[in-house]
Amino acid sequence: MTEPIRIDSTSSDSAVALEPVVLWTSGNGRRRLRFCPNLHNNPNDPDAVVSGELRYQSKREVDQFVDDESLSLTLRAGEWTRYDFPSDALLEFYRVLSGLYDACATSGIPRRQYLMVPVDGEVDDASAPAAIQDVVQWLLTCTNPGLLATSLTSLRPEDARYLSAASAAASLNALLVEWDSLASSAEPGWHALLARHEWVIEQVLGQPLVLFQDEAVVSSPTVTRKKAAYVDFMLMNPHTNAIALVEIKRADTALLQAQPYRGEAYAASVELSGAIAQAQYYRTTFQRDIETLMRDTDHLQLAFPRSVLIIGDSRSLDDDSKRTSFERFRLGVSDVEVLTFDELRSRVEGFLAIVTGEPFPTVI
């Protein structure tokens, strides 16, 4: 069979397919043949567990399919009729019957609703990923999300936790792969990624934060300054309504000067110093223009917004003197919190380790 079949129990000895299986559709889409299978224990022949009926349907181009009742198959003595099975319909019919017989032979008549999903060949450790992918693709294209949600809520708690952990691990792993692909990307790529996963920033800042505005205005235009200024993200603490202004730069931005300023002391790079000045400017103009910018948000605590700068990668600091110089510098900046991209990434790694139980998560 090529499409999943949903089976539901009707008694302790019988079950029925919830939707007929489409075996064949004509080239113009106006005729089709469907099979409505039933499963039942057969005391006379334990192997004969499948019965059902074939439904031939036709419609006009603009209509919905209905059962074709224009032909009567009640035959008198000496009469006969025939139906020519297209080869693809017959093959699909064979696959459906094989799947149903195999399922009953393996698990018996189902006692609750379950889904039969077609896979190619036997499922073992090597073929399991492809089989799982088949199931996931069907779930993603399910036309009845309410039914899908109901089915998932009926799982045993341990099964639900397992599926939830597996889904979370896949999402986190995909995030890490995308994260690493942006290593030398410009700011828009990082902006798009963190806009979808602002929870990473929340985890590093150590307080609950939600995205309040993407590319928020922090400075009103004036006669001498024609354009408004925008910060990458404005986050809000949903419990206190406090605001955090987050500016992001590139992950490959240099954090320190290439050569030490004196002895083992390194000065901050021009890029880092300039980014901090920009973040300070945004915070200052935002506080100055609060009444104009946020006149419709009286519930927010706007007086003392946090200012956060995400820039560079601390792994570029390849000796203790560089790491010490950088740490000393950012601790001395009192009004801007400086974070590096690898510090955010480590939070994602940490969650992946919790979900998978592996201390060093593997990124595929």
Contact 229, 282 (CB under 8 A): yes
Task: Enter the DSSP assignment of 256.
Answer: B
pLDDT, position 362: 45
Residue 334 to residues 63, 85, 231, 337, 342, Cα–Cα distance (Å): 70, 79, 19, 7, 22
pLDDT in tens, 258-287: 999 999 999 999 999 999 999 999 898 888
pLDDT, position 15: 92
pLDDT, position 288: 81
Contact 155, 217 (CB under 8 A): no
What's the rounded Cα separation, in Å, for the pair 305 and 284?
10
Low-confidence ranges of the chain (pLDDT < 50): 361-364
pLDDT, position 191: 93
Structure tokens at 161: 């936790």
pLDDT, position 276: 96
Sequence-separated (6 or more) residues with CB below 8 Å from residue 256: 266, 267, 268, 269, 272, 317, 322, 325, 326
The sign of the torsion formed by the CA atoms of 352, 355, 356, 359 equals: positive
What's the rounded Cα separation, in Å, for the pair 256 and 270?
8
Residue 178 to residues 183, 208, 299, Cα–Cα distance (Å): 9, 24, 36
pLDDT, position 361: 46
Contact 202, 235 (CB under 8 A): yes
pLDDT, position 145: 67
